[in-house]
């Protein structure tokens, strides 16, 4: 199992955070799946033109599987992680001005999910499965402790630990399969 730390994904968190601290990041780590299959499962056609507002998904082939990174605000790759996990596993992180959540699925079943600022409210068929990693990554946050670290990078590291899928910074820069999400809810 991977022992990724928050520092491993600080670059990805910063990539999707603007100069005033607002983050718009939706990503899913999918074990043992090709980018083509991952896009097919969520209804995205690889190579489809980004029209309108240019919302889409990039699927990066990487060690252990595929990482899907959404350009948009809908949370499609987060909300469809159950489909992505059929016959596999998927861990998703969504951080926007409206939500900050983590979810881990296996075989289409929700294993655990929690808000990044409210771990005690976790749910799922095995909500404590990742508890040791959550503690090691310093993610037991309930929102009212002073001085805690911003949890997004740690949540991305937890996604790697849960699935074994690693996205190196150099892998993010490589050519990814991209497809439009303009035809999917809630954009339609």
Query: Residue 180, exposed/middle/buried by CB under 10 A (0-12, 13-18, 19+)?
Result: buried
> Do residues 103 and 158 lie in contact, with contact meaning Cβ atoms separated by under 8 Å?
no
pTM of the model: 0.93
Distances (CA, A) of 142 to 14, 61, 121, 174: 23, 34, 9, 37
Domain boundaries, the chain: 6-179
What per-residue confidence (pLDDT) applies to 183?
86
Cβ contact 119:141 at 8 Å = yes
For the chain, the helix, strand and coil percentages under 3-state DSSP, each to the nearest 5: 25, 30, 45
pLDDT at 147: 57
* Confidence (pLDDT) at 122: 96
CA distance 178 to 3: 29
Per-residue pLDDT in tens (0 to 9) along the chain, 188 residues: 679 999 999 999 999 998 787 899 999 999 999 999 999 999 999 988 887 778 899 999 999 999 999 988 889 999 999 999 999 999 999 999 889 999 999 999 999 999 999 999 999 999 999 999 999 999 987 656 555 678 999 999 999 999 999 999 987 767 799 999 988 878 76
């Amino acid at each position: 199992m991977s022992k990724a730390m928050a520092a491993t994904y600080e670059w990805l968190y910063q990539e999707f955070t603007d100069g005033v601290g607002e983050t718009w990041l939706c990503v899913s780590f999918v074990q043992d799946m090709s980018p083509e299959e991952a896009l097919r499962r969520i209804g995205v056609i690889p190579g489809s033109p980004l029209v309108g507002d240019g919302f889409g998904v990039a699927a990066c082939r990487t060690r252990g599987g595929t990482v899907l990174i959404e350009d948009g605000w809908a949370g499609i790759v987060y909300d469809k992680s159950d489909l992505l996990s059929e016959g596999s596993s998927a861990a998703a992180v969504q951080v926007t001005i409206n939500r900050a959540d983590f979810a881990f699925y296996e075989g289409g079943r929700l294993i655990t999910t929690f808000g990044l600022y409210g771990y005690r409210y976790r749910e799922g068929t095995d909500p404590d499965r990742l508890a040791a990693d959550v503690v090691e990554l310093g993610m037991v946050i309930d929102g009212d402790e002073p001085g805690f670290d911003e949890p997004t990078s740690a949540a991305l590291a937890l996604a790697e630990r849960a699935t074994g899928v690693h996205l190196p910074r150099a892998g993010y820069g490589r050519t990814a399969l991209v497809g439009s999400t303009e035809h999917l809810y809630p954009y339609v």
